[in-house]
Structure 1
Amino acid sequence: MTELTSESDFVTAAVVAAELFKAREIANNISLTASNARALALRAGQGAAGFRAITDFIDMLADSTVKTSDIINLKAVTVSELATKLERLERAIEYYSKAAKAIEDGEHVESILNPLRDMKAHHAKVTRQFYREVDKLSDLLESLSREIKTASVLSAMSRVEASQSGKEYEDGLNVVADNVSDAAEKIQQHIMVSRSLCFDLADDAY
C-alpha cells in the first residue's frame, strides 16, 4: 500500500457497504413481488400452478440476496476499519520517521527507532489482513453476481407460465416477471460498482 492511501480506502470500503445496502433493499422488494405474485397466481387457479412454483424460487433468490448482502456489508465494514487502522499507523510512522531523522545522530535515537520498527511490523501485518479481507469481499461479490444471474432465467420462465394462466391474469403475471428482471438488473449495477471499487482497493497494493 502506498503511503497514506488508506484514508481513501476507508471511503471506498464505505461506498461498497452503501452500494450493497441499496442492493439489499431491492432484494426485499423482490420478496414483496413474489408474495404479490403468489396471491395473483392463486386467484388464477390451475392455469397458473407452474407460476406458483416459480414464486418460491423468486422468494429463495430474494432471501439469499438479502443474506449475502448482509455478509458483504459486514465484510466491507471490516475492510473500512482496517483501512482506518492503517491510516493511523501510516501517520504515526511518518511522524516517528521525521523525528528519528531529526535526531539520527542523537543519544536517544533508539527510543524512537524501536517503536518505529514495531509500528512498521504491525503495519505490514495489518496490510496483509487488509488485502485478505478485500479478496474475500471480492469473492462474495462475484458469488452474489452469479446468484442474481439466475433471475433472468426465472423471469423468462415466469413469462412462459404467465402465458398459460389465461388472458385475465397474464398481464399481471408478466408485470411480476418484468419487476423481477428490472430488480435483478439494478442489483447487478450495484454489484458492478462494488466490484470495481474492490479492484481499486486491490490496486493500492502495487
Structure 2
Amino acid sequence: MANSSNGKTSYFVVAAEVAAELHKATMVAKDISLTASNARALALRAGHGAAGFRALTDFIDELANKTVNASGEINQRAMSVSRLASETARLKDAVARMNKAQVRAHEAAYQQTLAPVIRKTDNAYRDVQNDYDRQIFKLIADLDELARELRTATVLAAMSRVEASASGKDFEDSLNVIANNVAQAAEKIQAHVKTSQRLFTNVRHATIH
C-alpha cells in the first residue's frame, strides 16, 4: 500500500481527474439535451409520421438531465471524500508519531499519559477511515448506476432510427443524423464514466490503508 502522504496525493489527483472526466460528460449530456430539443422541433414538422420519434425525444432529454445531475452529485461526493482522505492521512501520521514518542519515552514518568491520547487519536483515525471507505464504495456504486442508465441511450438510438425510417423520406435523413448523434454522444459519456470508475476503483486499493 502507498504511505499516507502518497495516498493523500493520489486521491487528490484522482479527484481532479474524475472531476475533469465528469465535466466532459456533462458537456456532452448538455449537447444531447440540445439535440433532443432540435429533434422535437423537427419531429413536429414531420407530422404524424414522426410521432414515435417525437415521443423518444422526451426520453433522450430525460437521460441527458439525469447524466448532468448525477455527474454533479458524484463530483460533490468526490470532493467530500477528498477532504476525508486528507483527514485520514493526518490522523494516521499523528498516531504513528505518538507511537514513536511513546517508545522513546518508555522510561519517562509521563509515558503512561500518552496511552489515552494515542487510543483516542487511533479511534478517530479508524472512524474517519471507515467513513472514507464507505464513501468510496458509494462513489463507485453511483458511477455504476450512471453507467447502467447510459446503456439505455444505445437502445434509444436504435429505436430512433426505426422511427426515423417511418417519418417519410423528407425527414428520415435528418432524424437519422440526430439518432446517430445521440448514439455517439452516449458512447463519449460512457467512456468518461468508465474512466472515472477505473480511477476510483484503483485509488480505493492504493490509498491510505
Q: Does 1:120 align with 2:135?
A: no
SS at match of 1:196: helix
Is the Cα–Cα contact under 8 Å of residues 10 and 203 in structure 2 kept in the other structure?
A: no
Q: Distance in 2 between matches of 1:112 and 1:28?
A: 56
Q: What is the aligned partner in structure 2 of residue 104 from structure 1?
A: 106
The CA deviation at 1:2 is 5.5
Q: Distance in 2 between matches of 1:116 and 1:126?
A: 15
The CA deviation at 1:3 is 3.6
CA deviation digits over 1:49-78, x for unaligned, max 9? 111111011011111111221221122112
- Root-mean-square deviation (CA, aligned residues, Å) is 1.9
Q: Distance in 2 between matches of 1:19 and 1:99?
A: 44
| Equivalent of 2:55 in 27, 42, 53 | 53
The CA deviation at 1:104 is 2.5
Q: What is the aligned partner in structure 2 of residue 21 from structure 1?
A: 23
Q: What is the aligned partner in structure 1 of residue 9 from structure 2?
A: 7
Q: Distance in 1 between matches of 2:156 and 2:108?
A: 73
Q: What is the aligned partner in structure 2 of residue 163 from structure 1?
A: 165
**TM-score normalised by structure 2 residue count:** 0.90
Which gives a bigger RCO, structure 1 or 2 (Cα 8 Å, sep 6+)? Answer: 2
Q: How does 1:10-89 map to 2 (within 5 A)?
A: 10-89=12-91
Q: What is the aligned partner in structure 2 of residue 153 from structure 1?
A: 155
Q: What is the aligned partner in structure 2 of residue 138 from structure 1?
A: 140
Q: Alignment length, in residue pairs?
A: 206
Q: Distance in 1 between matches of 2:89 and 2:24?
A: 27
Q: What is the aligned partner in structure 2 of residue 198 from structure 1?
A: 200
Aligned letter for 1:142?
Answer: D
The CA deviation at 1:92 is 2.2
**TM-score normalised by structure 1 residue count:** 0.91
* Identity across the alignment (%): 49
Q: Distance in 2 between matches of 1:113 and 1:11?
A: 35
Q: What is the aligned partner in structure 2 of residue 129 from structure 1?
A: 131
The CA deviation at 1:29 is 1.1
Change (3 A) 1:3 1:117: farther
Consecutive unaligned residues in structure 2, runs of 5 or more? none
SS at match of 1:105: coil
CA deviation digits over 1:64-118, x for unaligned, max 9? 1112212211221121111011122123223333333332322222344432221
